[in-house]
Amino acid sequence: MGSGSVPRPRRASERRGTANAEVDQLIIPTGSQHPDEAWTFIKYTQRQDVMEELCLGQRKHTPLANVSEAFYARHPNPYIRLFREMGASPNAWSSPKTGVWNEYGRELTTAATRSRT
């Protein structure tokens, strides 16, 4: 079991594609001095060609619905298509944003590490 993976019964086909999916966010803070310029920048980053370059540089998959074959061909991770499919799965989930989540995550990691030794 890799870090962040969720175990599932082998016969639970309805849970196929269960994966933790986190995101990077671009936001415009309330009171920003240049909200129009910030919005222009955010729109620019969402272009397919720009997003694919960003994701290649970060070694991540693209979150956009359309992905070029060139992106997959240029990506250094041979499993990037699988990671993208898992992130788009209806069974993908994200960590709850609570004050204790970091502590809970550490405890899960500790428990998983102990069970392997």
Q: Is residue 14 part of a domain?
A: no
Q: Is residue 26 part of a domain?
A: no
What range does the domain containing 75 cover? 35-116
Would you call 20 helix, strand, or coil by DSSP?
strand
Q: Is residue 1 part of a domain?
A: no
Q: Is residue 24 part of a domain?
A: no
Q: Is residue 17 part of a domain?
A: no
CA dihedral in degrees (19, 25, 30, 33; nearest 10)?
180
Q: How many domains does the chain have?
A: 1
Q: Is residue 60 part of a domain?
A: yes
Give the Cα separation of 40 and 72 in Å (integer).
Answer: 27
Mean pLDDT of 71-91: 92
User: How many other C-beta atoms are found inside a 10 Å radius of the C-beta of residue 37?
Assistant: 11
45-72 residue pLDDT tens:
999 999 999 999 999 999 999 999 999 9
Q: Is residue 100 part of a domain?
A: yes
